[in-house]
Amino acid sequence: LTAINSLSAAAGACMASFVLLPTIGLSGTFVVATTVLCGLVFYLWRHWGSACFAIACIAVSVFAGRQPYNYAIPSGAELVQRWESGYGWIEILERSFDGVQLLRQDVQYGLGADLDIDWERRQGELPLILHPQPRSVAFLGVGTGISVSSIVDHAEIERIDAVELIPDVVQALPYFEDANLKFYEDQRCTVHTADARHFMQTTRESYDVIVADLFTPWHSRTGYLYTVEHFENCQARLRSGGIFCQWLPLWQLGNEEFEVIADSFRSVFPRCTVWWGLCEPEKPLLCLIGADAPLRVSAAKWDSPNAPSVPPQSADPFLSTPARLSHLYVGEWSKRYNCRLNTDNHPLVEFTCPGSDLGNAKLRGQQVIDYFVTVLARLPQEGVFFSNEAKPVSIVARLRWQHKQLQTRVKRGRLKPDAPRFIDQEGG
């Protein structure tokens, strides 16, 4: 009986995930499950009462399954498309007042939008600029594909592997073609539907640059993308001189979780530098870039035929010159004594993040400003060398600018109109 029960449970899970949900959806699955269970009740207890009970349950499930799910659509938005699969609902919504499209999973988790194109594309562009000559690139996580679209303007790249866990997210990419520049049609690019960690463990390819997207740290098993073992797998896939870029959503982390991830990252990579992706108080975004030697930024790369260019849709001022790029550099994360590491056997981040959320200790608002002043602004500066031709701003001016940006609430994560002039005043 125990064996039959175990095999039946496994068969039921596989049937629901791979057959019922993709074919007849969530509502139909409820109807089928209710009908089967109630039929068993009537078969085992052949009584008119059980028959009435079974018929009532089936009728309720059919009625509930026919009800529209309009309650899940926020006000001011319209449903463009919805898929149901073993990964839940994948929806594309369009805001009626500005036409912005959003991609979300299971009603509440946002996978991206074509709103903040500038800093989303910066997530892919920054590590490509910091590598002297990227030929092969891997992106772990696709979403709307805006970050991956940064490869379109880099003619020197020969191979791109984009890895996305959810097949329906890949199916939604054409809905964001204006923002992601149809990168999936580029002959150099291959989109893989796979788990990012498993892909890095099994691929035989090696890369100059690996870019890891934002991963929600407290989701079950997602925290394993921040472990020492995963970082080691990625390091093993890097070519000589390659860099690994891990983006971190500070608004989902407390200072304890950030330090555990940074220490785990630093335990694998000899050099670990910290860069801002978005220097904004309510939605701060930064990345850890791991390498085996200090990074070097020279103006020669901007002057070469394959110089990084600002896409036409972007108004990002930090991609145009190395001087403005230097504003995003924070410092080098040093190896700390007696630090705790996030490992497969001890996944600290996955279990401590909910506590930081409950205690309102996430790095956003005043918390991230205080953490910048007390920790980030005091990091060593030896991890990146800017050549004299790059004309980088001074350390003091750069940190002062970062502090001011954190203190200023920026609408939609974009820079204020006077930001480029402010940069020039600071020596950029």
Instruction: Please write the tens of the pLDDT for every residue from 331-380.
Output: 999 878 888 999 999 999 999 988 888 888 899 899 999 999 999 999 99
Angle at CA of residue 404, ends 397 and 283, nearest 5°? 125
DSSP designation for 362: B
- The confidence band for 9, taking pLDDT boundaries of 50, 70 and 90, is very high
Q: Which of 184-193, 208-217, 317-326, 332-341 has the lowest mean pLDDT?
A: 317-326
pLDDT tens-digit readout, 259-295 = 999 999 999 999 999 999 988 888 899 999 999 999 9
pLDDT tens-digit readout, 213-268 = 988 888 877 889 999 999 999 999 999 999 999 999 999 999 999 999 999 999 99
Q: Report the alpha-carbon distance of residue 259 to residue 247 in Å, rounded.
A: 14
- The confidence band for 153, taking pLDDT boundaries of 50, 70 and 90, is confident
pLDDT of 305 > 80? The answer is no
**Which one, of 54, 50, 71, lies nearest residue 62 by Cα?**
54
Distances (CA, A) of 28 to 82, 168, 295: 15, 19, 55
| Burial label, 70 (beta-carbon count in 10 A; 0-12, 13-18, 19+) | exposed
- What is the pTM (predicted TM-score) of this model? 0.85
Distances (CA, A) of 14 to 2, 8, 36, 86: 19, 10, 17, 10
Both tokens assigned to 234:
């990625």
The residue with greater pLDDT, 418 or 77, is 77
Angle at CA of residue 66, ends 65 and 67, nearest 5°? 95
